[in-house]
């Protein structure tokens, strides 16, 4: 799409990519990670990108406020290094925004965001324990605003269940389990009857089971 000819459409697309980057959806490019995470008893319990990103955004807010408005005592003011972390996180976000949007492109931003998140949590805790109400209020507002924003599904996204079942069926085929593979491939076809590869590998699974008429 030529952005000079369609500036409105490009703006809407860029805004959608930005909201997906900071939002709760796990955007896939080759594998449906979101569905794997939901169905894993271990992965589903681990904190995801929205929590780290939300607290990281809170850290950025506190850095910005702390550098411009002296709401906190000097001991709780952000050190100079936090400004660099905020610059790194936002620089990575802006570098991928014009091109792609998928879960794996957010991973690189986790390092500076995690460090900023730690600073935000520490600053909020210290402000509350040391009884600095104005600083504590700003810290808590920043944490609530950051985590609230990243947990809000402002851009709609739905994982492709057909592709997820297809990949599971393909993996089972490669490990020599045609029966459960056939079940997964049937689930893929039920969700997307036009998924040609599922039909193809379902026939191969039937052939491995000796069901040549079904194949």
Phi, psi (rounded to 5 degrees) for 11:
-65, -45
- pLDDT (tens digit, 0 to 9) for every residue of the chain, 215 residues total? 566 777 788 889 899 999 999 999 989 887 888 888 888 888 888 888 999 999 999 999 888 876 566 666 655 566 777 889 999 999 999 999 988 888 889 999 999 999 999 988 888 888 788 777 887 888 888 999 999 999 999 998 888 899 999 999 999 999 888 899 999 999 999 999 998 999 999 998 988 888 877 76
Let me know whether 33 and 61 are in one domain.
yes
Let me know whether 125 and 45 are in one domain.
yes
Let me know whether 113 and 26 are in one domain.
yes
Rg over alpha carbons for the chain, rounded to the nearest Å, is 23
Let me know whether 57 and 140 are in one domain.
yes
* Six-digit token string for 190: 């039920």
- Comparing CA positions, the residue from 12, 38, 15, 14 lying closest to residue 26 is 38
Let me know whether 91 and 190 are in one domain.
no
- Determine, yes or no, domain membership for 215: no
**Of 107, 123, 150, which marks where a domain is finished?**
150
The model scores a pTM over 0.85:
no
Let me know whether 192 and 142 are in one domain.
no
Let me know whether 144 and 64 are in one domain.
yes
Give the domain range for residue 120. 7-150
Give the chain's domain count.
Answer: 2
Let me know whether 21 and 67 are in one domain.
yes
Let me know whether 141 and 184 are in one domain.
no
Let me know whether 202 and 129 are in one domain.
no
């Amino acid at each position: 799409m030529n952005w000079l000819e369609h500036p409105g459409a490009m703006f809407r697309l860029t805004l959608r990519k930005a909201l997906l980057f900071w939002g709760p959806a796990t955007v896939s490019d080759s594998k449906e990670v979101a569905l794997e995470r939901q169905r894993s008893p271990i992965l589903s319990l681990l904190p995801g990108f929205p929590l780290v990103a939300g607290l990281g955004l809170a850290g950025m807010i506190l850095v910005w406020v702390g550098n411009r408005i002296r709401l906190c005592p000097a001991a709780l003011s952000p050190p100079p290094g936090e400004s660099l972390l905020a610059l790194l996180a936002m620089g990575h976000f802006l570098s991928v925004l014009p091109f792609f949007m998928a879960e794996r492109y957010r991973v690189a931003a986790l390092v500076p965001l995690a460090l900023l998140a730690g600073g935000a949590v520490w600053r909020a805790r210290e402000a509350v324990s040391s009884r600095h109400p104005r600083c504590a209020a700003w810290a808590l507002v920043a944490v609530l605003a950051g985590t609230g924003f990243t947990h809000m599904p402002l851009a709609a996204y739905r994982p492709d269940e057909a592709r997820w079942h297809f990949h599971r069926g393909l993996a089972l085929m490669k490990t020599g389990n045609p029966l459960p593979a056939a079940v997964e491939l049937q689930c893929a076809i039920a969700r997307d009857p036009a998924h040609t590869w599922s039909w193809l590998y379902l026939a191969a699974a039937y052939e491995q089971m000796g069901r040549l008429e079904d194949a």
